[in-house]
Chain A
Amino acid sequence: MALTGVLRPGHVAIRVLEMAPALKHYKDILGLTEMGRDASDRVYLKAWDEHDHHSVVLREADEAGMDYMGWKVDSPATLKKLAADIERSGLATDTQWIPAGEHLHTGERFRFTVPTGHVMELYAEKDYVGNNCGTDGPNVNPDPWPDGLKGISPSRFDHCLLYGDDLDGTVKLFTEVLGFSLAEKVMTKADPDFMIGAFLTCSNKAHDVAFIRQPVKGKFHHASFELGSWEKVLHASDILSRTKTRIDIGPTRHGITRGETVYFFDPSGNRNEVFSGGYIHYPDKPAITWYDETLGPAIFYHDRELNEAFLSVFT
Chain B
Amino acid sequence: MPQHRITIVHTGEEFGCDEEDNVLHAASDQLRRKDIPIGCCNGGCGVCKVRVTAGRYVTRKMSRAVCGQEEEASGCVLACKLYPRSDLTIEVVGKMVRAIVARRSTAFSFDFRATVQVVNPDKET
| Interface set of A (CB-CB < 8 Å, partner B) | 17-18, 62-65, 165-166, 188, 194, 196, 213-217, 219, 246, 248, 265-271, 292, 295, 308-309, 311-315
Contact = CB atoms under 8 A, between A and B. Distances in A.
Given A17-B63, A63-B63, A196-B110, A269 B42 contact: yes
Interface of B: 37-45, 47, 61-66, 95, 98-99, 102-103, 108, 110-119
A127 to B, nearest CB: 32
27 contacts: A17-B44, A17-B61, A18-B61, A63-B63, A64-B45, A64-B63, A65-B63, A165-B117, A196-B110, A215-B114, A215-B115, A246-B41, A265-B44, A267-B42, A268-B43, A268-B44, A269-B41, A269-B42, A269-B63, A270-B40, A271-B40, A308-B103, A309-B47, A312-B45, A312-B47, A312-B98, A313-B39
B90 to A, nearest CB: 19
A265 B108 CA distance: 23
Contact of A62 (B37, B64, B102): B64
A269 B45 contact: yes
A265 B41 contact: yes
A165 B43 contact: no
A217 B114 CA distance: 12
B102 to A, nearest CB: 6
A73 B61 CA distance: 38
A219 B66 CA distance: 12
A265 B110 CA distance: 23
Contacts of B44: 17, 64-65, 265, 268-270, 315
Contacts of A64: 43-45, 63, 65
B70 to A, nearest CB: 14
Contact of B39 (A62, A266, A295, A309): A309
A268 B64 contact: no
A165 B40 contact: no
Contacts of A269: 39-45, 63
B108 to A, nearest CB: 6
A222 to B, nearest CB: 11
A269 B79 CA distance: 13
A313 B40 contact: yes
A41 B56 CA distance: 35
Contacts of B64: 62-63
A93 to B, nearest CB: 15
Nearest to B44: A269
Given A246-B42, A266-B42, A165 B61 contact: no
Given A196-B112, A315-B44, 6 more contacts: A63-B63, A194-B112, A268-B44, A269-B63, A308-B103, A313-B45
Nearest to B117: A217
Nearest to A197: B112
Contact of A165 (B39, B66, B95, B115): B115
A114 B63 CA distance: 24
B119 A308 contact: no
A215 B117 contact: yes
A165 B110 contact: no
Contacts of B95: 312
A214 B63 CA distance: 20
